[in-house]
A and B are shown apart, each in its own frame.
Chain A
Amino acid sequence: MKPFTYARPNSAAEAVKAFAAAGRDARYIAGGTTLYDLMKLGIERPEHLIDVTAIRGLDRIETGGDRLRFEALAPMSAVAADPVVGRDYPVLAEALAKAASQQLRNMATVGGNLLQRTRCLYFRNGAGNPSSVGVYPCNKREPGAGCAAIGGLDRGQAVLGQSEACTAVSPGDWPVALTAMDAAVEVLGPSGARAIPIAELYRLPGATPHLEFMLAPGEMITAITVPKTPAGRRSTYHKIRDRESYAFALASAAVALEMEGERVTRAHIALGGVATRPWRATEAEQMLAGQPLTAAVSLAAGRAAFAGARPGRHNGFKIELGARTVADALMIAARRSA
């Protein structure tokens, strides 16, 4: 922990201005459920915090019209409990409800959630400060330092999208559901407002795992939009973890289906817990199109989703677990009525 300044602007425009004035070592802070942790662990060391929670009217949940719109400051718990979201887009509600704990979801915002950082043990517990004790090299924390997770205790690490520099899993559940549902993120920055398809928000680690998001400095997330689709009702977020609740995914699948009779006309599938970014399972989606959804077909789709997976030392099981998770998710979604 080191001293920082603290500002509490009243509008998004003011927040962006305050950020630009503060310069590089500024951070927005919303619920603070993960940023404060990272500060205590010596990973984030901001000089300036710009608290966006005093901004009024940036927490609306809009379900009319041809898209869903969730403003950035809406608490996870509020979106999870929204009756329309729950009925028409269970994949979204479940992804939120199965994350963290009720207390955290009451504090955490749907905007802040998108920018949470990996739970890789070596990343979080390795800065060697009094709160984390461990000292582990990490390219994400310290570019060029090396990666301790590679060749280490990598049970939790990614099997998809990893690089020579980093195998850290993208941890969030909500971004996985949003990826399956083709969401977009509205941002406001020093050079104005724009919308980013969620698929373009997240980077692969490549040689620069410390760069995680395609946001320009000072860009603030203001809202998330999801185009409406009839697939929403036949959807689910299926999450497998080491305990029944209050844990990140070992493997998860966000699935939504458009069907005609027994036949899938269009499938949305994204994977969590197994990849270095929210992972769209395009091959599996393509494979399902036009197929009758049987147990065998869904397992084949699950396998297709992991066709390109590469195991580490202790996480090979995630490939089979992930395939079965996708298969189960497909069957759960298919049983729901459109």
Chain B
Amino acid sequence: MPAAPFPERERIDARDKVLGATAYAADIPLPGLLYAMMVPATTPKGRVETVAVEGAMQVRGVVRVLTAFDFPALPGPPPTPATEIAYRGQPVALVVAETLEAAIEGAEAVRATYAGQAFVPLIDSPGAARELVQPKKAGNAQAAMAGAATTIEASYVSPAQHHNPMEMLSTTAVWRDGKLTIYEGTQSASLVRANVAIALHLDPAVVEVKSAQVGGAFGQKIPLQRQTPIVALAAILIGRPVKLVLPRAQIFHNAVFRPKSRHQVALGADAGGKLTAIRYDADHQQSRKGTLEPGYHESPPRMYGVADYDGTAAHVRIDTQDPGAMRAPYPHPAQFAFESAVDELAHKLGRDPVAFRLAHQATTDPISGNPLSSCFLNDCLTEGARRFGWERRPIAQGAMVEPDGTLVGWGVAAGGYPANVSPTIATLRVSADGRTRFAVAGHEMGQGIRTVIAQLLQRELDVDPARLEIAIGDTAAAPQHTTASSRGTVSVGAAVTAAAAKMRAAMAELIGQRSIAGNIHRQLATVRRPFLQVEVSTLGPGQDAGALDRLRAGARAAAGPEYPQFTSFSYIAHFVEVRVEPSTRRVRVPRVVSIADCGRVVSPRTAASQVRGGVVWAIGAALREETEVDPRFGGWLNADLADYVVPVNADIGDIDVGFVDRPDPLFNAVGSKGLGEVAMVGAAAAIANAVFHATGTRVRKMPLRIEDLL
């Protein structure tokens, strides 16, 4: 029985954002604030021999210059200035000054000399070190492939990319009365606290991290940021608050990024045209010591119920900064490859690519052998095809031509993304004076987590929305999970439901048999109770209390997508129309229909906007974005927003978003699964598939550019 949909409610922070009133970390006014600028290494690899700071100290207004020699020596690579340079742009010094201008001028005056070393710039450069990880296998793909009647095999490439949220990386640190407070945009306030404490030999108890508003993150702000301990130490040594906002080019060089990855996919179908075998080898760009797993086998095995799966994966270690998670880190590149390959197979079989996918409903996870908690991908495909008008699609390529020669193509592709969850500790306080405070884990990165919390809370309790404070992104409010892997809504949703239930029980106990009029605040006032406060903790399926300890320690505490009894994924289907100009071959994307299965949709407005944003990301990925390295020099060449080409409004057409909105019966009480990342998964392949349908040209790399179609 499908429950009634959640009501459409506006974002609770929209007005402030439109007015520019939202205060991000770098906007917090502080008395006595000093400004900092980082000095980036100008060599791609080597050792710092000298750092001359005299020139900088002579600049009027410069207060202090910190170099590697100011930091406590630690085993392992500290996230501080170091004398070993592993990549171009690595911090060599921090100049702190009374004004931003002086800090910049001082940073320009710092002179470092290096003993350069040979470096390996690209994954196909000599010296790139391949390092296989544990393969992912199910059944016997080799035998299935050998028995296949039809096979295809192809390789696909996904480029290095940078997240480029609008909010620059920044850190503001305050050291007062033996306490360190850090303001910065992060997805992981507790992790920042734990790691800054380690880097600076501090007791975590004296460190607080505040990240009330984040101006976009997309995974860039998951790990400890390179500058954070450096700025914190500067504040401690100088005894005044210090703020650093990294210039965009330094962000390109120091932030994590989406590594370049290569994908070799082979598919086999039996005589009846059923997909029976998948072989998929993936590798990706990795730094010398980086840890981001080549986890590309997350989604492909969970899409079409294929029992025989053979997956290998490898790091390719070169000299670069650490790569990291960028929106749908594995499923986006993996599904670009896999869903392109599925399209190639359907084409070879002469099958309609929607009908082909519909014939492969998944019910179990071949990797774990457990059932999928829910998979409504076929509903996504059916509804998407209906809205798009797919039945009018000619199967041949190049068959839809406008009078002016414009080639029209329609493509489809699907995506999957793990349904993850984090344990949560939350405090709910409802006061007689009308106030409500809910303190929980979560970071507001623009995805709308506050709106989700407000939406759920108002459904559960009759609280006054105008006086609702949602305290998140703050280590002083509650232990903060890493708000990533699309687990935010699911995790806080569980906490809200649990806290509200406990609050209702506490109210019932307080009020007893009496019948008291008014909302919860009035009821408290009537019984002369200033406030009621409850604390709850929640766990993911199969988790034990150890997960809460890890959460408190700022360590990895989340679970998914494999749970003891089942595996959980969100799904999506994208339908794309492209128009390819006849002569100069510009590719336009006038319309997209995307239908998602994320279980219950708890906040329709922010959910639809997540999907629209995800599709925009995919349009950027498929047609534009790539960060490039000149192998002779290392570092990133197009390290600015003029040359790292993201889409602009004029590139985006109509994006029609729909949801299946059926609850997942097993994953959690609300029935919801994650959405923020699955939103973009598969959409890049749908674009490439549409381009194939329009032109007959199969482009197996992103970005697909004019020159690929000329």
User: B-contacting residues of A (Cβ < 8 Å)?
Assistant: 1-3, 42, 119, 121-122, 124-125, 128-136, 148, 151-153, 240, 242-248, 250-251, 317, 320-321, 324-325, 327-328
Contacts and interface: CB of A to CB of B under 8 A. Distances in A.
A2 B633 contact: no
Nearest to A328: B583
Contact of B640 (A1, A125, A324): A125
A132 B178 CA distance: 37
B104 A321 contact: no
Given A130-B40, A133-B249, A245 B630 contact: no
B97 to A, nearest CB: 12
Contact of B650 (A2, A240, A244, A251): A244
B250 A243 contact: no
Q: Which of B585, B632, B633: most chain A CB closer than 10 A?
A: B633
B108 A129 contact: yes
Contacts of A317: 706-707, 710
Interface stretch (B350-358, B420-428, B529-537, B641-649): B641-649
Interface in B16-40: 37-40
Nearest to B645: A242
Contacts of B642: 119, 247-248
B710 A320 contact: yes
Contacts of B630: 136, 148, 152-153
A133 B105 contact: no
Contact of A321 (B38, B253, B706): B706
A332 B395 CA distance: 33
- The binding surface of chain A is classed by DSSP as loop
A134 B249 contact: yes
A135 B252 CA distance: 15
A134 B88 contact: yes
B584 A321 contact: yes
B633 A135 contact: yes
B126 to A, nearest CB: 18
A324 B101 contact: no
Tell me the interface secondary structure of chain B in the complex. Answer: loop
Interface string B237-274: 00000000001011011000000000000000000000
A251 B643 CA distance: 16
B372 to A, nearest CB: 39
Contacts of A131: 104, 247, 249-250
A130 B710 contact: no
A240 B250 contact: no
22 contacts: A2-B105, A42-B108, A119-B642, A121-B637, A124-B640, A125-B637, A128-B42, A130-B37, A130-B38, A130-B104, A130-B108, A130-B250, A133-B250, A135-B42, A153-B637, A242-B705, A242-B706, A243-B651, A244-B650, A246-B648, A248-B642, A328-B583
Contacts of A130: 37-40, 104, 107-108, 247, 250
B591 interface: no
A183 to B, nearest CB: 26
B639 A125 contact: yes
Interface in B659-710: 705-707, 710
B84 interface: no
Contacts of A152: 630, 632, 637
A134 B107 contact: no
B672 to A, nearest CB: 35
B416 interface: no
A1 B108 contact: yes
A123 to B, nearest CB: 11
Contacts of B101: 1
Contacts of B647: 243
A119 B583 CA distance: 26
Interface of B: 37-40, 42, 88-89, 101, 104-105, 107-108, 247, 249-250, 252-253, 583-586, 588, 624, 628, 630, 632-633, 635-640, 642-643, 645, 647-651, 705-707, 710
A132 B584 contact: no
Nearest to B628: A153
A21 B160 CA distance: 50
A247 B645 contact: yes
Contact of A242 (B105, B253, B624): B624
Contacts of B583: 324, 327-328
A325 B584 CA distance: 7
Contacts of B39: 130
A245 B628 CA distance: 22
A243 B107 contact: no
List the 6 closest A-B pairs by CB distance, nearest first: A244-B650, A317-B707, A245-B650, A324-B583, A133-B249, A130-B107
B155 to A, nearest CB: 21
Nearest to A238: B584
Given A42-B108, A244-B651, A148 B633 contact: yes
Given A119-B642, A134-B88, A240 B633 contact: no
A240 B648 contact: no
B645 A250 contact: no
A242 B644 CA distance: 10
Contacts of B40: 130, 133
Contacts of B643: 119, 121, 125
Contact of A133 (B104, B253, B705, B706): B253
B108 A250 contact: no
Contacts of A245: 648-651
A119 B628 CA distance: 16
Given A2-B108, A325-B584, A134 B637 contact: yes
Specify which of A124, A151, A325 lies most central, judged by the most chain B CB atoms within 10 Å of its CB: A124
Contacts of B648: 243-246
A280 B295 CA distance: 53
Given A2-B105, A134-B249, A153-B637, 4 more contacts: A124-B640, A131-B104, A243-B651, A245-B649
A250 B89 CA distance: 29
Contacts of A250: 706
Contacts of B104: 1, 130-131
A134 B624 contact: no
A135 B44 CA distance: 10
Contacts of A321: 584-585, 706-707, 710
A121 B640 CA distance: 10
Contact of B88 (A133, A151, A246, A325): A133
Contacts of A153: 628, 630, 637
Contacts of A240: 584, 586, 706
Given A245-B648, A321-B710, A133 B252 contact: yes
A136 B250 contact: no
A136 B633 contact: yes
Nearest to A317: B707
A72 to B, nearest CB: 25
Contacts of B88: 133-135
A148 B249 contact: no
Contacts of B632: 148, 151-152
Contact of A125 (B107, B249, B645, B650): B249
B407 to A, nearest CB: 15
Contacts of A124: 640
A124 B636 CA distance: 13
A156 to B, nearest CB: 8
Nearest to A244: B650
A124 B88 CA distance: 17
